[in-house]
Amino acid sequence: MLIFAIILLLFSCKEKDQNTCTISGEVISYDDCTSLLLFKTHQDPRYLSEKIKLDKNNTFKYTIKEPTDERYSLISEEAFIAGNGYLVNFFADSDSIRFQIHSMERMTENKIIGSKKSNLLLDFEKEEKNWLDTDPFGKYKIAYTRYCH
């Protein structure tokens, strides 16, 4: 009976270890970035975030224990403090996800490898940014200011 209990304990511990998501990657052309903040998107990163330090090659690695189906975000800590950063959103739907994160000027070059949901989200965000860059509300802004002020 004791041997059976030990085997059961070993398998239950191993099962818990499998419920992780390791994120890793590199930060490219983001000169002031020395660390990233990781948090669930609906949480306030000032209070509920994990700080991930970049190494001398601007790479990082972090393991999320017990990931949920919620959306997660990464942001440069320095850019967040300065108020000029942007979120890299992703889903922890794989055991390993790799990132290439660029500065805001090159954010459309960001890559997320290993997560199907995150790639769909990234494609949508790129399309949205391209659409907003065309100033789609331009003629309506003029009408609004003319008739509503």
pLDDT at 2: 65
CB-based burial, 100-119: b 16+ in 10 Å, e otherwise: ebbbeeeeeebebebbeebe
pTM, two decimal places: 0.71
pLDDT at 118: 86
Q: Write the pLDDT tens digit of every residue in 46-65.
A: 788 899 999 999 999 999 99
End-to-end CA separation in angstroms for the chain:
81
